[in-house]
Amino acid sequence: MGVIARLGRSMRARLALFAGVAVALLCLATSALLLWAAHNTAADIRTNEVITAALRVVHLIKTHQIPRVISLDLEGLQVVDAAGRIVSTTPNLAGSPRLTTLVPDPDNANRLGRVCDLPQFSGECRLLVAFRVYEPEGDWMVYAFGSMTPWYVHPAVLAFLACASAGLVALTWFGVSRVVARTLAPVHLITGRLAEITAGDGGMRVPVPENAEEIKALAETANQTLARLEEAMEQQRRFASDASHDLRSPITAMRAELEEALLAPDEIEWRETGDKLLTSLDRLENIVTDLLMLARLDAGAPARLDPVDLADLVTAETARVRSKKVVTKLQPGVLVTADHVRLSRLLTNLLDNAERHAESTVIVTLRQDGEAVLEVLDDGAGIAPEHREVVFRRFTRLDASRNRDAGGTGLGLPIAREIAETYGGTLKIEDSEAGARFVLRMPVRKD
């Protein structure tokens, strides 16, 4: 049972077994066809031999040289004269009565057939050739009996076909097994390498074969997946490191304030200390809130899908008092399908980022150009092209950002992009003459 189970699990064994069975069936059909052809040929040869022997006897009758007992390479022979007397026979039929009364048709000189169940032949069937010999006193009959050709023609023929078929099946099994083994060898290498990767041994890549195109594609795809996994793991490690650092900073600040206050409680201005603690708590709360938002977005948490008028949304968000001037250029009636709260969060993050980095003015533009296009442009120093994707990484803040705003969490822009992509949109930084130009593109709602 163990061997059968192993064969059932092994692709190599299954393919070899399938090929062996297929070749065995093909050999069986071919052998049957060859046996049929060989049997017909052998039967024709034997029939011709019996007919030839019978014609020799006919010649002896015509030349009046027929002996009483005649030896021929036949199973038996009887010559019957016109009076029905047996005048000549082979030694094995000497003294036997007439074996058959079959005669050729009046228009034929011979008759070919098969006779069975004759006592003289142990009840087996024999080939019969009957010749009519025309004599003056009447027609004589020559009955020649020959052995029937067996279905297997000869034991040697059957043995040859069986051995040849067995050899072909064995050769096919071996060949297919070897070919499949060589074909699957890269798969075994990939499997072994994946096991090593699982065990944490070495880099996260699998070997790529040179010749097997399909397996090469599999290995390349696996390497791409492993590369993305490695990148995700590295991003997660950076995320954990940055998150712990950013969470530790306000906690450390609060602890320092409290320890200082406890060292000299009578000399501390508790209101000022409370304000500092509240500032650290606000920063801590902002980080935790952003982390929870990212966790919900990563988990694909369901959100409401309502029609949102982007012009109304921008008007509401820009109505808040800000430290920089906000100029809006809005096309009315641009509708998208999204969650109003999340889209508000996206716009707030963009506006807060622009406000932190603008010198004096933030420009918000909304238009519909086959899709909804929302631009937030500040007149600050801008972002270098090589950093335009970096700023969308979590907990990433450029040095300039850290200097201008030490209270930022580094999660606002990643959250904004995650929200945009949730609703089939994109958020990118595009070229501008001055400052940073964030462009949000979203599909327009179709009524």
Fold of 204-301: Helix Hairpins (1.10.287)
- pLDDT at 402 (0 to 100): 45
Round to whole Å and give the CA distance between 308 and 340.
6
The predicted structure's pLDDT at residue 4:
45
CATH 3.30.565.10 for domain 306-442: yes
Cβ within 8 Å of residue 326, ≥6 positions away: 318, 351, 361, 362, 363, 364
Exposure b/e, 201-228, CB count within 10 A at least 16 = b: eeebebebbeebeebeebbeebbeebee
Give residue 90's pLDDT: 92
d(CA 415, CA 287): 12
Domain boundaries defined on the chain: 1-198, 204-301, 306-442
* Per-residue pLDDT in tens (0 to 9) along the chain, 447 residues: 444 444 445 777 888 888 889 999 999 999 999 999 999 999 999 999 999 999 999 999 999 899 999 998 888 999 999 989 999 999 999 988 998 888 888 777 778 888 888 888 877 888 999 999 988 888 899 999 998 888 888 899 889 999 999 999 999 999 888 888 777 777 767 777 676 666 666 566 667 766 666 666 777 777 777 777 777 777 677 666 666 766 777 788 788 888 888 887 777 787 888 887 887 787 777 777 777 776 777 666 667 788 999 999 999 988 887 888 999 999 998 999 998 888 998 998 899 889 988 899 999 999 998 899 999 999 988 888 888 888 888 777 665 554 445 455 678 888 889 889 888 899 999 988 888 999 999 999 886
Torsion, Cα of 104, 106, 107, 112 (10° steps)? -10
The residue among 358, 279, 280 whose CA lies nearest residue 325 is 358
pTM: 0.49
**Is there a common fold for 204-301 and 306-442?**
no
Q: At what angle are helices 270-298 and 213-263 packed, to 10 degrees?
A: 160
